[in-house]
Chain A
Amino acid sequence: MLGELFHILAAAIISWILFVTVDIFFRLPEAGGVSGASAIARDIEAGGGALSGGTMMGNIVCSPDASAGTLLAACGVYVAGIPGGLVAAALVFIGNRICHDPGYAGTTGAVLATFVVYGFTQVGFAATDFIAGMVIAILTIQGLSHAHASRLLARLWRVRE
């Protein structure tokens, strides 16, 4: 049981790095997207956070991004290996378009995560470790301190700019 816990925590770190990198690459912290995301960003800023970090957090709420892609890809790999993960990526793509999001952060995240998760299943991990790990990863950004998370994301965004 402790071994599984360590695997889940490691998977959480890997998932975190994966989705944050892809989301920042696809410019999610950039302002001027969906109005709902801007409203969330403003409220996070009002609560002591950074606007660009808040914008990314708002975008994560309003449309499936790389974090959603990673979660569903892990689910896909659990159910049916690499084909499962790619089916999940297709579902994320459809989800993006349903949410009026023309971007590719979610789809890209899902495709990358499919191969990353599958790769790790070949070296002792279970796909379920990544499902739980991704929930932990998103918790650290959206579910603990919005102020701290948004400031961290803002700092990472400055690196990209």
Chain B
Amino acid sequence: MIAIYLVAALAVFAAIRATVEKNTGRKLPYVNVMNFAIAGTIVLLLNHPLALVAAAAYFVGSTLEANAIASTYAGGEQRG
């Protein structure tokens, strides 16, 4: 089953691009792709209902984090 290897490779690719990108606002979409990949990986590794909950928890958590970073970043721009 190559799906999981494909997804893992995309996670690495997205992590590299996020790191290389200098601008915060443009980093976040790359991190978003990585988070999709990791959430998918969790279920692909373990075909179990709890894995679905774990993937959802990971994804919502990472989205909340990205949202917080983006909001704080936005607040800084308006003040500065």
Give residues in A with beta carbon < 8 Å to B.
Answer: 1, 4-5, 8, 34-44, 46-47, 57-58, 60-64, 67-68, 71-72, 75-76, 78-80, 84, 87-88, 91-92, 94-95, 98-99, 126, 128-129, 131-132, 134-136, 138-139, 141-143, 146
Contacts and interface: CB of A to CB of B under 8 A. Distances in A.
A139 B52 contact: no
The B contact surface, by secondary structure, is helix
The A contact surface, by secondary structure, is helix
Interface of B: 1-4, 6-7, 10, 13-14, 17, 23-26, 28-33, 36-37, 39-40, 43-44, 47-49, 51-53, 55-56, 59-60, 63-64, 66-71, 73-75, 77
Contacts of A141: 29
A15 B52 CA distance: 19
A161 B48 CA distance: 42
